[in-house]
Structure 1
Amino acid sequence: MKRTPYYAVIFTSIQRQAIQGYSEMSIKMNTLAEQMPGYLGMDNARSAVGITVSYWESLEAIKHWKQQADHRLAQKRGREDWYSWYNVKICKVEHEYEFNSTKRT
């Protein structure tokens, strides 16, 4: 569990049919994000609509990630080649909890 509060960037997208190079860029972006100061983790799901949620310590950390040179290239490729639509939401997480039936205390 992450220490609250923190920020979540929710990226929801619909991919185009031809997505050459997407998997490689996705792996690269995940690796780069992990190296950014303030990065806390990521969850994602892909089907007809893709959802990726990345977690950050601050709005400043999110700003630095958005401006990172390779990430800017990935954003450009996304608009030109990979996505027919996307939406980004930035949310402040005040509280979180989870249930896990496999953990016993």
Structure 2
Amino acid sequence: MTLSPIFEPPYYAVIFTSLRHEGDHGYGAMAEEMEKLGSAQPGYLGIDSARSEVGITVSYWQNLADIHAWKAQLEHQQAQRLGKEQWYASYTVRVAKVEYNYEFGR
């Protein structure tokens, strides 16, 4: 597993935290499809994701307009609808402007 590289600030992070219902119900395949589709969107910088009891996905974007365009993208809207109907017990979306970052690695 690798982490997304550090990007030159300022940029934006969309933080999606979720609790899922039991079972996959097609979630894994859709998540892969959305990651591939998202990475082709204008302004997309990268993504980090982890799941245990709580799922956390952070996607990185150049600006707010790019985030709004991704939210409005047709296939992404279909995935959002399925998420509410089938996969998520609850979720929260936070959008944050990153003004400073640093990293450590060996």
TM-score by length of 2: 0.93
Q: Conserved in 2, the CA contact under 8 Å of 1:19 and 1:81?
A: no
Runs of 4+ in 1 over 6 A off after TM superposition: none
* 1:41-60 pair list within 5 angstroms: 41-60=46-65
Instruction: Give 2:98's aligned residue.
Output: 93
Cα RMSD after superposing both structures: 0.6
* 1:1-105 pair list within 5 angstroms: 1-100=6-105, 102=106
Q: Structure 1 unaligned runs (5+)?
A: none
CA distance in 1, matches of 2:49, 2:24: 18
Percentage of identical aligned residues: 50
Instruction: Give 2:3's aligned residue.
Output: none
Structure label with greater radius of gyration: 1
- Count of residue correspondences: 101
CA distance in 2, matches of 1:68, 1:21: 20
* CA displacement, residues 63-84 of structure 1 (integer Å, 9 cap, x when unaligned): 0000000000000000000000
Letter in 1 for 2:36: T
TM-score by length of 1: 0.94
